[in-house]
Amino acid sequence: MNQQRRDFIRLTGLGLASAIAPAATGMGLERPAGAQPFNMCNYAAPKIDTVRVGFIGLGNRGMAAVERMNKIAGVEIRAVCDLRESKVNEAIQMVAGNGHKPQGYHTHADAWKKLCERKDLDLVYIVTPWALHTPMAVFSMNHGKHVCVEVPAAKTIEECWQLVETSEKTRKHCMMTENCCYDFSELLTLNLARQGFFGEITHAEGAYIHNLQEYVFDKERFYQFWELKELSQRTGNLYPTHGLGPICQVMNINRGDAMDYLVSMSNNDFVMGDTARRLAANDPDFKPFVGKPFNGMMNTSTIRTKKGKTIMVQFDVASPRPYSRIQLVSGTKGAALKYPEPARIAKGHEWLSAEEYKALEAANTPAIVKKIGEVAKQVGGHGGMDFLMDWRTIDCLRNGLPLDQDVYDAALWSSIGPLSEWSVSHRSNSIDVPDFTRGSWKTNTPIDISMEKGGTTGVRL
């Protein structure tokens, strides 16, 4: 056998397998050795009559969160923190009318630690740039606080494990504030799925398709260009949870099924690099972004579950397209699709008529929507889903109920970001998805959406 033939066999056999399936070394995919210290799924922490809250980060979303919490009874806003003194003062003034007298923290970059170290807080609400989410959440839990943390909760697999291990060790909730799980359409789909309307869910699709160019290049929108820096340094699905979270709840991921492996592909950037060059011609603040390898315009990631089901998740914040999270749920008996709106439901080849949809919605309105939906619409926040999320979280804490999203959800949904980055950088090879529950997904039960318990928290409009 000549050398050329031997080389061919080597490349098309084991050698090729090694080339197309490189090991994901250094990713931290495996759980550290040792038994699971405590299962936080469906964990009910002791009741807290008055939830004392501190906020870190008072930008666009942070200030909106303060405003929402200011309208929930049984909440006392004790502390607010931001790098900008003006934002701290604005938040203090906003809540003064309801009797809140929060202490402000803004003197230096580590001022947030002083907030977390306070003995008179039950919950720390983190709304900062992504890179700070895990360090702040871990520090807060280690100082005896429950945590609400904005999406994504972590940027690396190691950070995902840190969140899980700290929550288990401290028995403090770590909830990622995935507001899209409380969208009225997504809640209806979840309720119908629980009743078997769609049969067995076999496939789902989600996305975050939102042209953010005018925002990420805006000096005021994202303080110190933090999101533009993320988009110029990483390539993958950097923001997976809005499309993914509701799908995982419908498919009982972490609670009866688990993700197995993922493949991901991104196209090139055709827009953002040009925008950076154009702006830098007249403004030196944009020069550091010239020549950067901006994230591709579209990332598509596909996931297979342990039970042989599939999920597709997309990410695009640069294309001039209408907003979409897709939200397709496909089962053996029916399907649902939210985007393009209006939302639709089918039991066969045709979508139900608008009248049939309304009748189905009226007969299957989720309990939380019946309880607080109209008030949530009045308060607002992405149509009311933000307020539903915060009200539900506080109501669970006050009544000693498990939260709808636990630390395993926060870790898993966030992990798609770094996993997709690895796959994209390795010619879309597959990569295993860590099991942050360490096998507990086999016996964990789905979240309780019945509202048979709790529902006692009032609202101050």
Q: What is the pLDDT of residues 349-400, one digit of tens each?
A: 999 999 999 999 999 999 999 999 999 999 988 999 999 999 999 999 999 9
Q: Which domains does the chain have, with CATH numbers?
A: 51-178 (3.40.50.720), 180-366+407-442 (3.30.360.10)
Residue from 299, 343, 325, 302 nearest 208 by CA? 325
Mind listing the pLDDT tens digit for each residue in 234-274? 999 999 999 999 999 999 999 999 999 999 999 999 999 99
Mind listing the pLDDT tens digit for each residue in 104-162? 999 888 999 999 999 999 999 999 999 999 999 999 999 999 999 999 999 999 999 99
User: What pLDDT does residue 222 have?
Assistant: 87
- Give the predicted TM-score (pTM) of the model: 0.94
